[in-house]
Amino acid sequence: MTRVLLPLAPDEPGAQPPLLHAPYRSTLKRAPRRPPLRIEQGLSEITGPRFSPAQAGPPVVDLSRVGKGEALGQRIIVTGRLLDGDGRPVPQALIEVWQCNAAGRYLHDADQHDAPLDPHFTGVGQMLTGQDGEYRFLTIKPGAYPWRNTDNAWRPAHIHFSLFGSASATRLITQMYFPGDPLLATDPIFHGVPDEAARNRMISTYDPGLSEAEFALGYRFDIVLRGRGSTPLGM
């Protein structure tokens, strides 16, 4: 065992949300009360799941249609790169995305929002990143929807992202938001991230260069997972 094994770097202060964030009411009964135990990282933390194309299943990168039927809504292209905190691309990593439709309704039994389902939209996509960490989905812009956190509360438009990096300790689930959305100003989930600069890293960038003429608007969203520390593991 002569290889140099590096642990994952600690989070920067303010870059990750606390578990208890009272404005997001669901945290009140679910956030652990005891502070987390700091354990020394080892093989269990610096290794993690990887997915072959067969394990990941067929890529689904076009969410804008089901068969020949086109989903209602504004077509958008969402693309970017998956990187680690050292700026290196993360290739062949599983990205899963899901979202509500243009009317703000999820294809989920428990979603009781009085908005129409779209028979031509499931809102589910997945792919493995390319050699340069790149990914790309064609979808429609999700709608805003009400939720019962407080009276007349509305979630800003967002796409959920699930990401596997190089290690189990880099596992990340996040949400991508859209620039200029007025609902961001008051959203308690978005504002669960204390640091403003960190928060704004969850907002995609409108990029005219990515837009396709007469077809779809382009948004760029790079995702950065934890990088590595500099002190090798003691093993």
Partner 1 sequence: MAARPVTPSQTVGPFFHFALERAGWNDLTRGDPRGERIVIEGRVLDGEQAPCDDALLEIWQANAAGRYAHPDDPQPEELLDPGFTGFGRALTDASGRYRFVTIRPGRVPGPGRALQAPHVSLTVFARGLLRGLATRIYFADEPSNADDPVLSSIADPAARRTLLALRQPGPEAIYRFDLVLQGEGETAFFEL
Q: Is 158 among the residues known to form the active site?
A: yes
Q: Is 96 in the site for partner 1 (CB under 8 A)?
A: yes
Q: Does 234 bind partner 1 (CB under 8 A)?
A: yes
Q: Is residue 206 flagged as an active site residue?
A: no
Q: Which is nearer to partner 1, 66 or 169 (CB)?
A: 169
Cα separation of 158 and 98, whole Å? Answer: 9
- Residue among 208 and 234 whose Cβ is closer to partner 1: 234
Spatial distance between the Cα atoms of 224 and 201, rounded to a whole number of angstroms:
9
Q: Which residues contact 133 (CB under 8 A, 6 or more apart)?
A: 81, 82, 83, 88, 89, 90, 91, 93
Phi-psi region of 49 (alpha: psi -120 to 50; beta: other; left: phi over 0): beta
Residue 141 burial (CB count, 10 A): 18
Query: Which of the residues 135, 145, 177, 219 is marked catalytic?
Result: 145
Instruction: Check binding of 156 to partner 1 (CB under 8 A).
Output: no
Q: Does 134 bind partner 1 (CB under 8 A)?
A: no
The reply to whether 160 belongs to the active site is yes
Whether 177 sits among the annotated catalytic residues: the reply is no
> Encoding tokens for residue 116?
């129409």
Q: Alpha-carbon distance 80 to 221, whole Å?
A: 5
Total site size for partner 1, rule CB under 8 A: 86
Lookup: tokens for 146 = 């009400």
21 binds partner 1 (CB under 8 A): yes
Is 155 in the active site? Answer: yes
Should residue 22 be labelled a site residue for partner 1 when binding is judged by CB under 8 A?
no
Q: Which CB, 26 or 212, lies closer to partner 1?
A: 26
Q: What x/- string results for residues 174 through 203 when contact with partner 1 is judged by CB under 8 A?
A: xx-------------xx-xx---xxx-xx-
Catalytic annotation, residues? 106, 145, 155, 158, 160
